[in-house]
Structure 1
C-alpha cells in the first residue's frame, strides 16, 4: 500500500517540529549546512515553503517572491511552525490534493508533495545539525523522498536549489538518508564551524 503524502508529512512533521522548538534565540545567527542560510534565514525559508506548499495542495498559486521574515517580525515563530506544518498535513489530506498538476511546475501532484516532504526532512536535519540537536528521519519518509529527489536533482542544480553532490567514500557504509543529503549537496558529517 502506498502511503499518502499527508501521512508522510505527518511523520516528517513529528520529527521536524521538536527541532524548531529546540532552537534558542542565541542560535539564530549560527551557520547551517546550507551555506546561503543562517539558522534564522533557514527557519524563515522553511516556513515560507511550508505555507506555499499548502497553496499548491489546494491548486492555488504560491507566492515565493516575498522575502520571508517570520522570525524577525516577532510573534511565536516556534508555535507558528507547528501550526503551519499541521495545516500542511491537512492541506495534503484534502480530496484531490494528490491529483493533477498543481502550480506552474508541470509536475504531478504526488511529485510536488514529495518535494515539500524532502524540504521538511532535509531542512530539519540542517537545523538540528546547526543547533546541536539529534535528528533521525522517519525511514519510510526517506524511502519516499530518495528516488524523487534523485530524479529532480539535475534541474534542482541548474536552478541553484541543490549544490553539487558531495562524494561519499565508496568503502564507507552510508545510510539512505546520508545518500539523500549528499545528493542535495550536503556533507552528512557537517559540523558547526
Structure 2
C-alpha cells in the first residue's frame, strides 16, 4: 500500500481517462456499461462528479463536492460540456494528488472520511477502473501502466470478496487472469465484459 513518502502518481491514469473520454462517440451515450444498470452517459456524469470531488479531497477543500454520496444521489447523465470538462478536471485532480500535502492527515470524498493516503488510492482506483468501464462500453482499448496496476493490486486486496454495497459487487473468479484482470475481478468486474455491437 502507498504511504505518504512514496505515493502513486495519478497522472498516467488521468491521461488514459482523458484519452478514453475523447474517443467516446455520441452514438454510444445510451449504451450499457460494465457498471450494472448504468449507461455511458450516466458513467460520464459520474466521472464528471468524481473528478471534481477527488481534486477537492486532495486539496482538503471539504464541502459540497466532498460531502455528496453519488450512490445516494443517483448517477446523473453527462453534462453538456463533458468532453472538455472531464479531461480538464482529471488533469487538475492528478496535479492536486502530486502535492505531498495531499497525502497527509484526514480528508473526505463521497461523504466519508479517511486517511488521505487511503483516499488517494481510492481516487486512483476510481479513475482507473471507471476509465476501463468507459473504454469497454465504447469499444476502446485500455491498458493501465505497470506502477498503477501494482498500486491497485495492493489496494483491492483489502476488499471484501462478498462485495461492498453501493461500491463494488462480489469478487469474480477469473482463472488465468493477468494482474490487472485480477484487480478488476476483485472489484466485482468481469474482465471479459464486452460492448454490444453497434447498430
For the aligned pair, the TM-score class normalised by the smaller chain equals 0.7 to 0.9
SS at match of 1:135: coil
- Match for residue 167 of structure 1 among 164, 167, 173: 173
Instruction: Normalising by structure 2, report the TM-score.
Output: 0.84
The total of aligned residue pairs comes to 185
1:146 paired with 2:153, answer yes
Which secondary structure does the structure 1 equivalent of 2:185 belong to?
A: helix
CA distance in 1, matches of 2:193, 2:75: 26
TM-score (norm 1): 0.87
Counterpart position of 2:68: 64
State the superposition RMSD in angstroms: 2.2
The answer to whether residue 97 in structure 2 is matched with residue 96 in structure 1 is no
Deviations 1:137-164 (A, max 9, x none): 111101011111221x229933321001
Structure 1 or 2: more strand by fraction: 2
Tell me the SS of whatever aligns to 1:102.
strand
Structure 1 runs (4+) deviating above 4 angstroms are 65-70
| Contact 2:45–2:75, Cα closer than 8 Å, also in 1 | yes
Question: Does residue 158 in structure 1 map to residue 164 in structure 2?
Answer: yes
1:41-84 CA deviation, whole Å, 9 max, x = no partner?
A: 0111112111111111122231425556462x42x311101110
Which piece of structure 1 moves more, 47-56 or 92-101?
92-101
* 1:78-104 C-alpha deviation (Å, 9 max, x unpaired): 110111011102222335111011126
